[in-house]
Structure 1
Amino acid sequence: MTTTGDRTPALPPSPAPGTARAQQRTRTRPAVLAQDGWAAWALGTVAQSYLALLAALTAIAVVPLGFGWGGSVVQTGSMRPVISPGDVVLTTALPETSPVPLGAVVQFRSTAPDGQERLVVHRIVEPGQSKGEWVTQGDANADPDSAALTRDDITGQGRLLVRWVGLPSTWLRTGQLAPLAGWLALTVAAVWVAAWSWPRRQRPDDRPTGSLHGGAGGPALTRGAALVTAVALVGGGMLLPAERASAAFSARTAMSGNSFTVGTWPTLALGRVSSYAVLASTRIANVALLGIGSSVGGSVAVSPGTSVTGFWPWDVTGSTDRDTAAARNARVDALALYEGARTRTATATAPATVTGALTPGVYRRTGPVAVSGTLTLDARGDSSALFVVQGSSLTFGQNARVVLANGASPDRVFFVSTSTTSVGDGAAVRGVLLSSGDIVLGRSSTLAGRAVSVNGAVTLTAASVTQP
């Protein structure tokens, strides 16, 4: 008799050692990263890119400090929109042998109205009224700073701008906890995602088929390393640099990448107006008197109008531009020049009748201004001294004279009218006539300077204009 033995049930095959390890790590990974694919790859790439940018900006802001540069975090928006609070300004000391850089952005210490000393980053726009003083202004501000600056006040000249990296420091100091908490959460999450998604070296038996990275993958960074990375980035963002500045670089700053290049201050700069002795918006007219016409020692231009009448070819020594590209460009600069002069902060109130002597400054009157007799503009030996005389209209009396003394330059003298300007017969004027409306030069009058009407016409009646 044959006996049949008991059958033992078959056991499931044991998983390969590598597969078990992969499954264990997969169960511990974040849900989004547990599935290798484009979503996991994209999320990891975004996290790594964010951390790389944050680390690079932090390094750019920190490394120069080790080479003697200064650094400060901008706190206010006086030079927006190009520079915002939270940007970091890096500066270098101004060498003793270098002149004060007119037109440059500098860092200096100033006493606020509350008596507290503060760090300011503004542009030097012009020399002050006293020798050795300089006027500064934020490019986004309508008026210059109230206190003049001396060389000893300057702590550095702007050299490098690092965007955004000081925002956590600003939020921390100003108590803006909501954006600070959001940034902290974002940075910690980015470190965690980057730690899990970074490709790692794996053993041959640890590579499931179809894995984007060649394996189920565990963190390339340990949790301890991820924690250290997060602390370093967060600490760097909140603690550097320690100094705080109340302003920043300007909208007029020329930028090459993040490098700062000093440019000239455009306010009250002639720009392309300097190419012309007479510039008008609608027309330029020469009115002869008893057969004697006017003469222009230089070029004339009109734009957007095209009318230039009454001149013989020899009456104008330079070019005659009728709504050419050069004329249009000059008018653009003339409008900026007029607006800058019109809105400039007054240093004194101009009398109804201006005569005698004036020192450098901005003299403004809300009503009409007349110049009579002899007006002497004394630059006190400073060739860059600025004179601005402004009124609702300007009238130079018959035989009135404007005399420039002690280094005064005609291109730094501006007679500004918000309507019309009239130069009487026989008057001798030096400087720039800058008018919103018409300019009329009377019989036998002379102008050593420029006649610029941004919205009107310029008429010469047997007059003479000589371009400086």
Structure 2
Amino acid sequence: MLGTVAECYLVLVLALTAIAVVPLALGWQGSVVQTGSMRPHVNPGDVVLSTALPADSPVPLGGVVQFRTAAPGGGERTVLHRIVAPAEEQGEWVTAGDANHDVDSSTLSREDITGQARLLVRWVGLPSVWLRTGELAWVAAWVALTLAAVAVRVWSWPRREDEDAPTPSPGAGAGPPAPALGRRTFLAAALAVTAGGTVLAGREPVWAGFTARTATAGNTFRVGTWPTLALGRVASFALLAATRVANEAPYGIGSSVVGSVGVSPGTTVSGFWSWDITGSVERNTATARNARADALALYDTTRARAATRAASTTVTGTLPPGVAHRNGPVHVTGTLTLDARGDASAVFVITGTSVTFTAGSSVVLVNGASADRVLFLGTSTVTVSEGAYVRGVVLANGDVSLVRATVAGRVVSTQGAVLLRAATIAAP
């Protein structure tokens, strides 16, 4: 009985391993599932075999596909999820794990699909999962169980004299049972199981796409977030400076501020007519001091935010949400279009040692982009040149200079002055 049980276990392991490994020789892709985002249909330790999606085949809506996506901490990882709906943008698709409450945070294009799932093999990748997660006790238990099964089956083999005994004639004594499998067969099986397990342990793992919640009880994680880019009490002002605010236009003509003006710890606001500022003027008041404290926090948080794209000297064209830091000057030229892609919470950050909006340049916000979520940060100065039209928050450590230009947003200097010459600043 023990020998029969051991034989059944070894045959099961051999069969599952063969089903998982043989297709790899035929060009299929094999991946060991690491997480429970596809439960109850796919569990950690299962092996999913997939094939490339033919160029003339439609995207399998409702099917399970394998694709590459960004991994936390950088790089990429392979994900195995179901295509659940077309995305709003033509040619893109929405994916989700069967066990997840939320769809994946990014959409999928056809070019991202590396394979379509074809065959599921249960359990055979569990040793690989245990090795990757450091659960060596389970690995040791599985190895011990397999070796014990081999030993029991070898021990229960009939003796050679029994194997060589003639088959009894009908009506004679029952005699020894014929062996189900020979020694050589079991030796080959044990080697095949070992080799197959080695192959599967080296297969690339597949993971769950990132979502904020999961219905899988065994999975617990905390949503990772960027530092919050909150204006705080800066939102009370259209213009905020540390040392002074000055309208340098001849006779104070041509400059205006739609909103409030604050300065702290300085107290100078000069060159404006009474009708040039529609809001209040706060000269080192508690309101101005509180706003400057929040401006300093916003400056530090913005600089600490990790970059998501390469920074360049010249910024123009259309950009998606993201963060670009440059240790050098940045020039915004032509028309810079910031596309939120329908995400009202999208954040855009562009920083440099100095930021210059060249003459005639403009910043355009589309598809839900908000001026208070667009930050242009200069670690020294920011210059808005003649004819420029800027939407967003202009944030500088040093002076900010605006010459015959318009900012539909806010202008903030944490350590310096804000100087206007026939310029307009209008709070969102």
TM-score when normalising by structure 1: 0.46
Q: Radius of gyration: which is bigger? A: 1
TM-score when normalising by structure 2: 0.50
